[in-house]
Amino acid sequence: MKRKKEKKNNSDRWLLTYSDLITLLMILFVILYALSNVDQSKYDALSKSLNKALLNSGESVLNGNKGIPDGGDGILNGQKDQSMQQNQTEQQTGTSRSGSSSSSEITNEQQLTQVENSITDIANNSNLKNSIYFSMDGRGLEISFADDVFFDSGKADIKDNMKTILDKIAVVLNQFDNTIAIEGHTDNQPIIKGDFASNWQLSSMRASNVVQYLSETDHLTPERLYSVGYGQYRPEATNDTPEGRARNRRVNMVILYKDNTLAQ
């Protein structure tokens, strides 16, 4: 009796199923990509066509029997809208932060301008009118006083009439909380007779006495104040002429920007 040949099992049949699945997935992604790039009118037409075809076969696409939403707010569009909203929020936040920073800088400058205007009014109503100079630099507002309105030659004691003016200036300074530097300067002429051994000592003591007066008498917060004496080493004019030396003998009051705490 002739034996029947055994049929071999076809172990590669799963490849057909796998290839069908890959094909369907590719079609799905193509459709999703198309849905994310067409305009509204094309999207509506495509969604209605797909809904009709799939619902006729008893199938649905999204959310049970709802099919593809006619409004076009599908998954990809929802993600796109959410991403756009997030980017707009970040841009608005960045703009807001930038605006706040700019606003802070403007406010700081406006405050120093107010200080300058107020002290100018005080100077115009006193003997300081031609002995005070204002300038704005990277540190803040610098107010330069000729030394002879504060002190007698070679002395560090504040004149009585200047104390009255300092009291008025302190009222203005107490309206703000900026750090204030008092800087003493001299010309290069050596001290022959007097209470100080050098111009450095003289300039330092003058600055310290102004700081002490503002703190103890006018009640400015001591933490806001510091003094420094530069002697003859930071001249603003030549020391070769009487006019230049007079310009170099000065006391500077520097109201610093709020982000500065030390003189530069």
Domains of the chain: 14-73 (no CATH), 104-256 (3.30.1330.60)
Q: For the purposes of burial, counting CB atoms within 10 Å of the CB of 16, is it exposed (0-12), middle (13-18) or buried (19 or more)?
A: exposed
Q: What is the pLDDT of residue 209?
A: 97
Indicate whether 151 pLDDT > 90: yes
Q: How many residues in the chain? A: 264
Least confident residue range of 49-58, 74-83, 185-194, 201-210:
74-83
Residue ranges in the chain assigned as alpha helix (H): 14-37, 40-56, 75-124, 147-150, 160-173, 199-216, 242-248
What is the predicted pLDDT for the residue at 18?
81
pLDDT in tens, 72-127: 444 444 444 555 555 555 454 444 444 444 444 457 888 899 999 999 999 999 98
Please give the full DSSP string across 184-220, using - where no structure is assigned: EE--SPPP-SSS-SSHHHHHHHHHHHHHHHHHHTS--
Q: Give me the torsion for CA of 204, 206, 207, 208, rounded to 10°.
A: 80
Residue 199, pLDDT above cutoff 60: yes
The single residue listed with the structure tokens 């999204």 is: 62
Of 239, 236, 24, residue with least CA distance to 137: 236
